[in-house]
Structure 1
Amino acid sequence: MFSVLPLLAGLLMVAAALTPSLIPRDWIMQGVLGGVSMTAGYLATQFLLAIWRTLEIPVLPRRWATIAHAILAIPVMAVLVRCVALADQWQNAIRERMGMPELEAANTTKMLLLTAAIFVALFLLGRAVQGLFDLLRTRLARHIPVTSANVLGLLLAGLIVVTLTRDGVVQWAFGIADSSYAAAQHLTDADAEPPSEGWRSGGPGSLIDWDLMGKPGRDFVSGGPRAPAIAAFTGRPALEPLRIYVGLAQDKDPETRARIALEEMIRTGAFERRVLVLASPTGTGWMDPASYDALEYMHEGNVATVALQYSYLQSPLALIFETESGLDQTTAIMRLVYDHWRSLPADARPRLYLHGISLGAWSSMYALNPFQMMNEPVSGAFWVGPPFPSTLWRQANEARVPGSPLILPQVDQGEVIRYASQFAPPDRSGKPWGRLRILFLQHASDPIVFYDPASLWRAPEWMREPTAPDVSPQLSFTPIVTQLQLAVDMLVSTSTPPGFGHIYDASEYIDGWVSVSAPQGWSAEDTARLKAKCGKGGLIGCDNG
């Protein structure tokens, strides 16, 4: 049933798939990765053998081929056995670096069984596609030459598979995901009481419908520190932080949602605050409280933050299926807010900052037009976990000082652009900022940032650099497999504790905002106190009691 040489190649791919990558994998994800890798190795070898036979290159006689396969199987099985024996050790080493518990004892057995099951399922699916091709070319060969029938049959079979996959399975899965995430928004939730204050989004006189804001928006607007808590922390009078959020359900048109947001900002006095943040949420519309809470403490609550939802999907799905949604929405609100901000007297404007996390960082970067702002730039930008396709981030990487690593580049002397990580604070050089401050916060273990499409055939540049503290030194490159590993890493990138992978810790946000926004009268002691207040945990924000 199985061809020997492709099967051996598939087993080698399984062995390579067991090596560590950026994010630790449990038996389920490792089993999926192993099964897909084995299938990829099997199919690639079958394809090469088909080309070999088509070119009519001589092959070994059956007897000698059997002997060659037996000899070749010895090193292949030796490599596989070694990798299986070390698999848990490799994964636990990464887990230890990230403060995660070790894998259970039965992890390897369950992983191998799942790998085999997925390979068999995909193999049978492949045989079904082969059967479709054989059926088509046989029918066509009755009417046209055999060569033409083979070519046309292959094209038709490919077209049928692509159509069924793209317009059938993928669209069905996308519809299910979109509906489930939309349901998770709890639109028109009767248990969610609207605010009683008129200055809050969704409150009396607000232009924004509370019920259509969605759970992420309601949590953001109703959460965060209040003025008494801020005043108690700083020892100085504080204002109530202003948070404005427009849900995706408010209106189907991004331009209309942007105009509603601007009118709400004007109504509530957002342009009269000391600091104005134009924030772009993640794919689901979530706003990490650890970031916004910290900023409001730093500036005595004299902060206004505006955000507009553009999707219901998790960021990896929104990145694939709704690429333009976030870009269109952020561009629309940026244009309106910047034009209004620029129309104000220079000495009466708030400091304007751009901020985004994950997919929000990409859309926020996209909305920044440096040519438009060359004469009157914003005060700065703080982008966290920028996804790998982000054009501005990639351009900054290319402008780095020769010899500086891709995982933590240096651009000129750091007057305009800086990079930070959990191990490297933004002000580590001690050199002053320029007029515009742009900060990228990224983890070397974040696959959303460091996924490389070209890893299908070559090692990513960062893999050829010295290993960061949160990355396994056993990480290595294997064609095809490395790309599959990084793809799986992206799917589980938020399974890590805060401070690793795609989860950013409150202390990192604090260091970033202190550097970018330069709060008045702020000291290193204040930073330490705020870190103690916010604690570890980028998903819960600060203690606002």
Structure 2
Amino acid sequence: MGLLFLCGSLTPSLLPRIPAVQGTLSGVSLAVGYGLGKALHWAWLVMGFSNLSGWVRQALTWGLTLGLAGLTIFTFHRSTIWQNSIRQRMEMPDVESGYSLLVAAIALGLALVLILVARGVIWLMLVTSRPLNWVLPRPTAIGLGAVIAVMLVAGLVNGFIVQTALRAADEVFATLDLAIEDDIAAPPHAFASGGPASVIDWDDIGTKGKAFLIDGPSQAEISALTGRPAMEPIRVYAGYRSGETFEERAALALRDLIALGGFERSVLIVATPTGTGWLDPAAVQPIAYLHGGDLAIVAAQYAYVPSWMSIMVEPDRSRLAAQALFDAVYGHWTSLPEDNRPAFYLFGVSLGALGSEASADLISIFADPIDGAFWSGPPFASYVWASVVARRNPGTPARLPEFRDGSVVRFMNQDGIATPAGAEWGPMRVIYLQYASDPMVFFSPSLAVRRPDWLSEERGRDVSPFFNWYPFVTFLQVGFDVPMATSPPSGYGHTYDALDYIEGWIAVTQPADWSAGDTEKLKAFFAGFTASASQSNGATWSRQRSSSSPEL
């Protein structure tokens, strides 16, 4: 069982892996498979069956040993081909070797450690049960001993190891959030938080928020590209240290938005950042060109750790923060005359999409609807997204579903927007942008026991044809993909491309006096200036991709 799991772990999943990651994954898989095999053997004996004996046992042992040894050699040999099958679909250079010896060494060493730890827990269980056996029946003593042993180990792991690791990670990311680069100065104009007209202190804003406030296109840059008069976009950002609670930060962001004149613009976007406080420049920069700078974007930071870590530890933070900001901004927006207020949109990427989609109260929305939303890379815990995908139109794939008549909700990927035949947009437009190779979207605990729809149906063009589902192993594979979700080039995995954002924003916001020629000009500009969604290092600019992105 251990070797079967090891072989399965070497097959491709959604993302390519470096040798260290592959070795770690294979080691965990080997240990899990070994443990499962031991558990099945124990269950066999408990049910009263006896071990095989004589020549049958020897023949079976040698047959399985030789067969699995051959399978292991074969999978290590094929691992390079399998990894390159992913890299080719993501326009990444091939690797010449899978570094089988290094991977095998890491896997065997880690598996040995994990197995010894598990045996130590079993030993502790037996030691604990012995004195209990003096006063209790043996099965009861063993069961109670197991509970005590598990509680002791869980207390040690959670109370010391995990908490120590989390505190260390928290300190690291808190330091990164406070880091100030010498060339990052407060905005000199009166259209951004931290500037001369702002009520938010520049020093209370983290590095990701500061990058959002100063890196976007200016009025002059927008006008130079579009050839039309433009306005300076308004950008509001309440940092993690701007208030003690979600509500305090939201209230401060609203005050700043009012002070900077955000409600006097034509377009208002309430954005929910990722766990680090990062807003993808590939998303927030193109929208400024589409509307000639006549817009305001407001956001509030709720954490400073990566989304994958935040969703595992405190998944509700993004929802609570997004709810507080939406309630504050929406409450003021609804108090304004309908003919004298901006169009209202929601935006979120990654964990921000999870929070943003949960922020809009349906009863309030029905009473006074917003104009739409654009959510990219919604993580697997996004229950609104999950509900829509589960109720997709029959015959449409989970990777790119169609929902009802497409008048409200549509999905898109690198190839465009999936539009039901004869569909027409309604007054409120919602788009989900998701790539078939994004593990943040398609990871699920159910992968351990059930083959997902997105592997049963025709798969996306960025998913390896060699990717198959194996019980438990696929869960481990995609789980290991999640922390590396932003490692692929722009346009794959969890790295969303500016060219796709352009198409999505046009569909959602319908910019006035905007032509197909304007779209091609904007795409040509961003094709050589495409943001790589590295949430830890900010935006880098890399891969060019075709500007053609038609509706399907």
The answer, yes or no, to whether TM exceeds 0.5 is yes
Contact 2:531 2:541 in 1 (8 A): no
2:380 corresponds, among 388, 396, 399, to 388
Q: Tell which deviates more after alignment, 77-86 or 21-30.
A: 77-86
Match for residue 412 of structure 1? 404
1:322 paired to 2:314: yes
Residue matched to 1:160: 152
Equivalent residue for 1:98, pick from 90, 97, 108:
90
Match status 1:497 vs 2:484: no
1:308 is aligned to 2:280:
no
Aligned equivalents of 1:242, 1:427: Cα separation in 2:
33
For residue 79 of structure 2, the aligned residue among 77, 87, 109 is 87
Q: Does 1:478 align with 2:479?
A: no
Q: Quick check: 1:293–1:542 contact (8 Å CA) kept in 2?
A: no
Residue 396 of structure 1 and its aligned partner are, at CA, apart by 1.4
8 A Cα contact 2:191 2:233, kept in partner: no
Pick closer, same or farther for the CA change 1:542–1:490 going to 2, 3 Å: closer
Instruction: Give the alignment partner of residue 341 of structure 1, picking from 333, 336, 345.
Output: 333
Q: CA RMSD in A?
A: 1.8
Query: How big is the shift at 1:79?
Result: 2.1
Residue in 1 that maps onto 2:60: 68
Task: Determine the C-alpha separation between the residues in 1 that align with 2:318 and 2:183.
Answer: 29
Q: Which amino acid aligns with 1:228?
A: A
Q: Are 2:320 and 1:350 aligned?
A: no
CA-CA distance at 1:427 after TM superposition: 6.4
SS at match of 1:400: coil
1:370 is matched with which residue?
A: 362
Q: Spell out, residue by residue over 1:216-271, the C-alpha distance to the aligned partner (whole angstroms, 9 max, x if none).
A: 01111111111111111111111100000001111121111111011111111100
1 CA distance for matches of 2:246 and 2:407? 34
Question: What's the counterpart of residue 233 of structure 1?
Answer: 225
Q: What are the Cα deviations for residues 159-185 of structure 1, in whole angstroms up to 9, with x where unaligned? A: 111111222222111111111111101
Give the equivalent residue in structure 2 for 1:531: 523
CA displacement at 1:63 relative to structure 2: 5.6
In 2, the alpha carbon distance for the partners of 1:265 and 1:429 equals: 40
Would the aligned equivalents of 2:192 and 2:198 in 1 still touch at CA under 8 Å? yes
State whether structure 2 residue 508 is matched by structure 1 residue 519.
no
Post-superposition Cα deviations, 1:195-230, rounded to whole Å, max 9, x if no partner, equal 232332112242211111000011111111111111
Give the Cα separation in 1 of the matches to 2:117 and 2:440: 30
Matches of 1:436 and 1:22 in 2, distance apart?
33
Cα distance in 2, alignment partners of residues 263 and 295 from structure 1: 23
Pair 1:181 & 2:140 matched: no
Which residue does 1:120 correspond to in 2? Answer: 112
Does the aligned pair in 2 maintain the 1:133–1:153 contact within 8 Å?
yes
Matches of 1:487 and 1:246, distance apart in 2: 32
Go from structure 1 to structure 2 and tell me whether the alpha carbon gap of 1:343 and 1:426 turns closer, same or farther (over 3 Å shift).
farther
Pick which of 372-381 and 195-204 moved more. 195-204
Q: How many residues align?
A: 535
> Does the C-alpha gap of structure 1 residues 190 and 234 become closer, same or farther in structure 2, counting only changes over 3 Å?
closer
- SS for the counterpart of 2:204 is coil
Deviations along 1:480-502, one digit per CA (max 9) or x if unpaired, are 00100110111211110000000
How far apart, in 2, do the equivalents of 1:345 and 1:320 lie?
Answer: 42
Is structure 2 residue 142 aligned with structure 1 residue 150?
Answer: yes
Query: Relative to structure 1, is the Cα distance of residues 470 and 419 closer, same or farther in structure 2, using a 3 angstrom cutoff?
Result: same
Distance 1:294 1:24 in 2: 29
The one-letter code of the counterpart of 2:152 is I
* Aligned-partner Cα distance in 2 for 1:62–1:120: 30
Q: Which moved more, 1:422-431 or 1:365-374?
A: 422-431
Given the alignment, which residue of 423, 435, 445 partners 2:437?
445
Using the aligned pairs only, state the percent identity: 38
Q: Deviations over 1:5-33 (max 9, x none)?
A: xxxx1001111111111111111111111
Shift of 1:412: 2.1
1:33 aligns with 2:15: no
- For 2:179 and 2:86, the matched residues in 1 are separated by 40
Q: Mean Cα displacement is larger for which, 23-32 or 56-65?
A: 56-65
Letter in 2 for 1:203: G
Name the TM-score, length of structure 1 as normaliser: 0.95
Write the distance in 1 (CA, Å) between the matches of 2:98 and 2:191. 56
TM-score (norm 2): 0.93
What is the identity, as a one-letter code, of the residue corresponding to 1:175?
R
**C-alpha deviation, 1:75, in angstroms:** 2.4
Residues 353-378 of structure 1 deviation map (CA, whole Å, 9 limit, x = unaligned) = 00000000000001022222113211
Q: Is the 8 A contact 1:241 1:304 kept in 2?
A: yes
Q: Which residue of 2 aligns with 1:5?
A: none
> Aligned partner of 1:340: which letter?
H
Say if 2:238 and 2:253, in contact at 8 Å, map to a contact too: yes
Query: How many angstroms does 1:293 deviate by?
Result: 0.9
Tell me the CA shift for residue 189 of structure 1: 6.5
Structure-2 change in CA distance of 1:204 and 1:488 (3 Å): same
Q: Distance in 1 between matches of 2:277 and 2:516?
A: 33
Give how far 1:140 is off. 2.8
Alpha-carbon distance in 2 for matches of 1:398, 1:96:
31
- Give the direction of change, closer, same or farther, for the CA distance of 1:298–1:68 in structure 2 (3 Å limit): same
Cα separation, 1, equivalents of 2:267 and 2:124: 63
